[in-house]
Amino acid sequence: MAGTALVAVGAAGAALWLNGPADDVDPTDRPTVAGDPAPGDDPAPPEPTALEPWEVDLRDWGIQDAATEGFGCEPAPERGVLCSAAGQFALLLNADGSERWRFNGPRTGMVGPNATVVGENVLAQSDSGLAALDPASGEVRWEIDAPELGETLVVGDEALAFRNGDSTVRFYANDAPDPLGSWEAPGRYLTDLLGHGDRFLAVSREDDSGHDPRMELLSAEGRPVWSTPATPPPEVPSLLRGVGMDERAAYFEEWDVDLPVANAVWRLDLETREWARTEFPEPTEPRTVLAGGVLYASSTGGTLIAIDPTAGEVLWHRATGVEIASQPALADGVLHLSDGEGVLHRLSAEDGEPLSAGEPHPGTPGAGSDAWPPRPAVGEGVVYVPTMGNTLYAMPLGNTLYAMPLEAGAAE
């Protein structure tokens, strides 16, 4: 961490100034101590401490049920993990599971975005709107005034965007509280906000009916890139749910208007504004992520699907047996997802072949919990797994628990 490194260097400098050799003594003439590097050699960096598995009870931080309280985690600097719950607090744990700091969200209980690491800061919901925190200490560095901050925060290469109110998107620099611009859709309601690089896609609908979806491609300053908004083809149902965006396209799930299932994914080309549909092998309740140009979807019943939306084809789908599956997380060609019992599963992203599974960490689901577990967070050599109930555990990727292979499911 840059801030931590500066403090350490400053302390070392003070020690040399107070206790260093006299001006007429050459410091290179001092006696050599066993283990010292030879003059001119750089000392070898210390080996990182081996990570050990750990587990914490989220009830210690007020989380009764991770699945229904908007709880989520992501890797943080210095091999830690950053967790938050619908903007109500941000919690940073060290590599051993101990608490580094906690930052409480607004006292109003307003639901906002989860905390996230952006450059040298952690961004978290605050009483004012959005606060940039020091990852080492949790201290506030600066704040953005956003009294109507919504749940969505999208981070691009140099700018971030968020909803403030029903129909306004604000744009700010990633590393400073500098406003870059704003965009409004008067009389409409913002339903999705996607982003990649220096462009963002705002999706709005009519307030009263929820129909008439419009997509507006915006610059990092909130200026429209297209001369007119894009609209879906007539055959698209009224409900499209944003999944992700890359430099070429934006991607959506097509949900049935009568049943709680999705039937297909749609790709909106950001240059030609053409739409392309790829049907799921079967109706499903997907938890879909975009990674490397591929859409990976897991379902409650244990089906895992990989789709190439550019080619418009299903690459593979597999019955994994992983029931109540979380959204998958992709790292180094491996999909990581957990199930209703808190078991971490690892599967090949190439064909869905099961690689290994851990042990149950069931936790204690809260009353009325009927959702699915949050997505695992894959860090440097470790996976952090929030469960259906109120457990968060860390498992080093080299742990022997992964020596237990799953039975191979049927891929098509």
Instruction: Give residue 144's pLDDT.
Output: 97
**How many CA atoms lie within 13 Å of 231's alpha carbon, on the beta-carbon side?**
10
Is 22 domain-assigned? no
Residue 29 has a pLDDT of: 39
| Sequence-distant (≥ 6) Cβ neighbours of residue 47 within 8 angstroms | none
Q: Is the pLDDT of residue 26 over 50?
A: no
> What mean pLDDT is predicted for residues 220-226?
98
Query: How does DSSP classify residue 99?
Result: E
Provide the strand spans (E) within 17-158: 54-57, 71-76, 80-85, 89-93, 99-104, 116-118, 121-125, 129-133, 140-145, 149-155
The model's pTM is 0.84
Among 186, 206, 231, residue at a domain's last position: 231
Report which of residues 398 and 171 the model is more confident about. 171
- Residue range 23-48: mean pLDDT, rounded: 43
Residue 389 DSSP code: S
Rg of the chain in Å (alpha carbons): 24
Burial class (CB in 10 A: 0-12, 13-18, 19+), 2: exposed
pLDDT tens readout for residues 227-246: 999 999 998 877 899 999 99
Residue-wise pLDDT for 43-68, tens only, equals: 554 555 678 999 999 999 999 889 88
Q: No. of H helices and E strands in the chain?
A: 1, 31
Taking residues 254-258, report their average pLDDT: 89
> pLDDT grade, residue 30 (50/70/90)?
very low
Say whether pLDDT at 3 is over 50: no
The secondary structure of the chain in percent helix, strand, coil, rounded to multiples of 5, reads: 5, 45, 50
pLDDT higher than threshold 80 for residue 404: no
Q: Which of 187, 210, 231 is the last residue of a domain?
A: 231
Q: Tell me, yes or no, whether 178 lies in a domain.
A: yes
Q: How far apart are the first and last CA of the chain?
A: 45
The more confidently predicted of residues 184 and 406 is: 184
Give me the CATH number covering residue 206: 2.40.10.480
Tens digits of per-residue pLDDT, 273-284? 999 999 999 999
Distance CA 194, CA 237 (A): 20
Give the domain range for residue 329. Answer: 51-118+320-403
Of 8 and 328, the structure prediction assigns the larger pLDDT to 328
Strand, coil or helix: 17:
helix
Lowest mean pLDDT segment, chosen from 14-23, 145-154, 342-351? 14-23
Q: Is residue 112 included in any domain, yes or no?
A: yes
Q: Residue 74 pLDDT > 50, yes or no? A: yes
The mean pLDDT of the chain is: 85
Share of the chain above pLDDT 90, in %: 68
Domain count, the chain: 2
Whether residue 275 contacts residue 287, with contact meaning beta carbons closer than 8 Å, is answered with no
Answer yes or no: is 359 within a domain.
Answer: yes
pLDDT band, very low/low/confident/very high, at 22 (cuts 50, 70, 90): very low
1 domain-assigned: no
Domain boundary among 231, 265, 292: 231
Asked whether the beta carbons of 80 and 87 are under 8 A apart, the reply is no
pLDDT digits (tens, 9 = 90+) for 297-337: 999 888 999 999 999 999 999 999 898 999 999 999 999 99
65 inside domain: yes
Retrieve residue 56's tokens: 């914490």
Confirm whether 240 is domain-assigned. Answer: no
Residues near 177 by beta carbon (within 8 Å), at least 6 away in sequence: 132, 142, 143, 144
Is 137 part of any domain?
A: no
- Asked if 393 and 334 sit in the same domain, the reply is yes
Count Cβ atoms below 10 Å from residue 4 Cβ, excluding itself: 14
